[in-house]
Structure 1
């Protein structure tokens, strides 16, 4: 539970949270993205480990959240206390205007925020307008009175604790970016009820005058803005029966997905974002299935990709957590050897204190916590993916982490089932 000190649009203070032993710090995708920004930034994995240990023990005091800064007092094991701050750049007024204009046009975004949810498409739509809501590598800047020059155990513990707050309320992130919940909702309400001015009639040019003007005509106007949504393909619902072997519902679905993918590629091209390369057919079938087609289309995708319906559902679950990399962790088992194996073992050794380290059984790139329903899988990019055993099969349990202990904790393993 949180309490408010002063104006909640400028500061919120959250009471200290209880210890988090045996569970992950972030359950939501945006909470995990916050932790990824920390883990990608910090140079000393030992400090991250110490920070997780402090956060799990409940050593982080009340957390103050203000625009551009989070603050807490963190107590070491020897009971010394340190003030830890983490800074995050605020959005400019112009960026907030663009974010509000984008959000008010889509009622689903507002409804999701009010439900304390931050759907991926909200963040993607913000990014398409040049606004990065979630922090990336190097965005979380540490300050601590222990005078460490990088993330220390105290700032890391603060970040791990804030991930739990973000899980409960994404408005915490928006306050860090510069706007409190009440001010944000008031702005959205004002924009949604503001009268719209009629667009002025375009000025025409007489054809004879244009021809006579020759080479002194004005420059052509700029290209129109990119549509907010992909176009809708024409309906195939006609009175003419389809030829043998042609399924109109499957064709309509493929046309709609092609339009959506073309829109996605164009948005990313304008943003300068590189997309994933052409996918193999088996992976592309999973991408198509992730858009929840009609049952008949889903059946064809399952058959065409060489998967049954149950296996395709697992593949879709993995795809939604991390695309091709997550699908590889689900379906590819590879031998970890040589230098890669040595690095993996070193990371596993450093991830837990000796008295907390679980017994791990290795098979290829998969390490199973003996006696539990938890497993971590090493991706070829060095990230660890959490898995949980349900009804006798291993299922993806969350997004990746640089730290196997965090990944295993996010799977919340219990007695083996």
Structure 2
């Protein structure tokens, strides 16, 4: 007799998760499940960069992989991103649904100022920012562990209602990966989570370009343009 029970295939686990999701949606139609199509959890630049950043830390390396299968099986029944916070409901064993909460520290003013400084003249439009269409130099700046945009383990705080006493349970691991998948739907969620303004990145670059243009034609370089005009010209 086995003490571990009958082995369940990935397809069976996914089917059970879908049935549980249907029941949950009847009670709460506002739930936002994370559905993975294909073998890759995240496909957008921001989503892939998020997951790569998580996997790059030794503190997470032995635990984070536990969440991959859970996400692909549809275990993330609900995931909502707010400023500096993520709330999720994860399908557990049996009839259990566990609640996870993840809090991420706000980007420090010092790091934000350094990012803005490096972004001068390197981003043209909001679309370029959201699609990751910028130089390799800027990619490295964004992902730099010392002063980039992505959080370190010290900046990520989490809790789960499950009884697992491990540092990072599989429900938290699944939630962390699911955040990256969420960025595929809307990269702006990244900036909401990190509590930073996309407009500031664009405007910083635009202001530098305007100064360069005005300097080139021999005009004053201290000329400014109000936010509404910048938005009209550059499509913000």
Same fold, TM exceeding 0.5?
yes
Query: Would you say the 8 A contact 1:25–1:163 is kept in 2?
Result: yes
The 3-state SS of whatever aligns with 2:76 is coil
Q: CA deviation at 1:131?
A: 2.3
Q: CA deviation at 1:69?
A: 2.3
| Counterpart selection for 2:183 from 166, 186, 189 | 166
Counterpart of 1:157 in structure 2 is 174
More helix by share: 2
Specify which structure has the bigger relative contact order, considering alpha-carbon pairs within 8 angstroms and separated by 6 or more residues: 2
For the structure 1 residues 54 and 130, does the alpha-carbon distance in structure 2 shift closer, same or farther, using more than 3 Å as the test? closer
Structure 1 residues 80-109: Cα deviation after superposition (integer angstroms, max 9, x where no partner): 121112233321234334433433432347
1:144 and 2:160 equivalent?
yes
Instruction: Kindly name which structure, 1 or 2, has the bigger radius of gyration based on alpha carbons.
Output: 1
Q: CA deviation at 1:42?
A: 3.0
Can you give the 5+ residue segments of structure 2 that lack an aligned partner in the other structure? 1-29, 212-220, 224-236
The 3-state SS of whatever aligns with 1:73 is strand
Taking the aligned partners of 2:113 and 2:194, their CA distance within structure 1 comes to 13
Query: Would you say the 8 A contact 1:102–1:126 is kept in 2?
Result: no
Q: CA deviation at 1:154?
A: 0.9
Taking the aligned partners of 1:26 and 1:60, their CA distance within structure 2 comes to 14
1:41 and 2:55 equivalent?
no
Taking the aligned partners of 1:79 and 1:101, their CA distance within structure 2 comes to 51
Query: Would you say the 8 A contact 1:15–1:61 is kept in 2?
Result: yes
Counterpart of 2:27 in structure 1 is none
After TM superposition, the score normalised by the length of structure 1 is: 0.36
Counterpart of 2:195 in structure 1 is 178
Taking the aligned partners of 2:155 and 2:62, their CA distance within structure 1 comes to 17
1:56 and 2:72 equivalent?
yes
The 3-state SS of whatever aligns with 1:34 is helix
Taking the aligned partners of 1:96 and 1:14, their CA distance within structure 2 comes to 33
For the structure 1 residues 55 and 43, does the alpha-carbon distance in structure 2 shift closer, same or farther, using more than 3 Å as the test? same
For the structure 1 residues 106 and 129, does the alpha-carbon distance in structure 2 shift closer, same or farther, using more than 3 Å as the test? farther
**RMSD of aligned Cα (Å):** 3.7
| Counterpart selection for 2:32 from 10, 15, 21 | 15
Q: CA deviation at 1:155?
A: 0.7
Q: CA deviation at 1:184?
A: 2.6
Taking the aligned partners of 2:154 and 2:108, their CA distance within structure 1 comes to 19
Query: Would you say the 8 A contact 1:43–1:150 is kept in 2?
Result: no
For the structure 1 residues 104 and 129, does the alpha-carbon distance in structure 2 shift closer, same or farther, using more than 3 Å as the test? farther
Taking the aligned partners of 2:65 and 2:126, their CA distance within structure 1 comes to 35
Query: Would you say the 8 A contact 2:45–2:132 is kept in 1?
Result: no
1:79 and 2:70 equivalent?
no
After TM superposition, the score normalised by the length of structure 2 is: 0.58
